[in-house]
Amino acid sequence: MTGFVLVHGAWHAGSCWAGVAAELTARGHQALAVDLPADKPGLGAGAYADTVLDAVATLPDAEPLVLVGHSLGGLTVPVVAERLGPERVRALVLVAALVPRPGLSYNDQLRADRSIMAPGFGVGQERHEDGTTSWSAAAAVSGLYRYVDAEVPADEVGAAVGRLRRQAWDIGREITPLTAWPAVRTVSVVCADDRVVDAGWSRRAAAEIGAEVVELAGGHFPMLTRPAELSDVLVAAGG
């Protein structure tokens, strides 16, 4: 049995992995979806990694792990893999994810390369006095989740939007605590019609870190739209 540790992206919570967790459990694996303290200002990837490690501590010590990070979760899961080491981590899977570079912040990367994010992404976010951002329901449907309703029924999109929360952005401003890319198998899942993280950039970033690339059709949220297909990829990565 393999333990799959599922780390969500910005504005989300562990509940976004429900479909994938059900698929993995049905296949005889253990799935652990972590709730990051992402809505609390002042915390970055190190604190997020601490939260993941606290969750991992509840799993059997001998169980090999596959660490899975979606979107902004890509800034956290390599830090966890670096701390745990290849003795515990069988694979690292980046799902439509941002990729940290030692010595830089995500904001540094974005200033140097505006192609990271898909054109037009971000319009409609609401900014709050504490530095967090959020989405109104209408803006989330037309912005964050744009075109997802072409893949799943509108009521499923509405339910996902209803679970969104605020996101703090210290994780984007800080220099990543990652010191080197972890010495574990890395798989990058690229979503061909991604309207959040640019698919072309994801392919280039994967090549830079030596990741295997797996392409999925559809947009940025395969855990919502293609849970069985994504689970196939995760199980293969852990094999």
Average pLDDT, the chain: 96
DSSP line for the chain:
--EEEEE--TT--GGGGHHHHHHHHHTT-EEEEE---TTSTT--HHHHHHHHHHHHTTS-TT--EEEEEEGGGGGTHHHHHHHH-TTTEEEEEEES-----TT-BHHHHHHH-TTSBPTTTTTTEEE-TTS-EEE-HHHIIIIITTTGGGTS-HHHHHHHHHT---B--HHHHSBPS--S--SSEEEEEEETT-SSB-HHHHHHHHHHHT-EEEEESS-S-HHHH-HHHHHHHHHHHT-
What pLDDT is attached to residue 154? 92
Using the predicted structure, report yes or no on whether residue 78 has a pLDDT greater than 90.
yes
Residue ranges per structural domain of the chain: 3-237
Q: Please provide residue 14's backbone torsions phi and psi, each rounded to the nearest 5 degrees.
A: -60, -25
Q: Please provide residue 214's backbone torsions phi and psi, each rounded to the nearest 5 degrees.
A: -120, 125
What pLDDT is attached to residue 203? 98
CA atoms of 83 and 68, how far apart (whole Å): 15
What pLDDT is attached to residue 219? 96
What pLDDT is attached to residue 157? 95
Express each pLDDT in 181-205 by its tens digit. 999 999 999 999 999 999 999 999 9
Using the predicted structure, report yes or no on whether residue 34 has a pLDDT greater than 90.
yes
> What is the percentage of the chain residues whose pLDDT exceeds 70?
100
Show the tokens assigned to 82.
């670096």
Fold (CATH) for 3-237: Rossmann fold (3.40.50)
Using the predicted structure, report yes or no on whether residue 1 has a pLDDT greater than 90.
no
Express each pLDDT in 101-114 by its tens digit. 999 999 999 999 99
234: left (phi over 0), alpha (psi -120 to 50) or beta: alpha
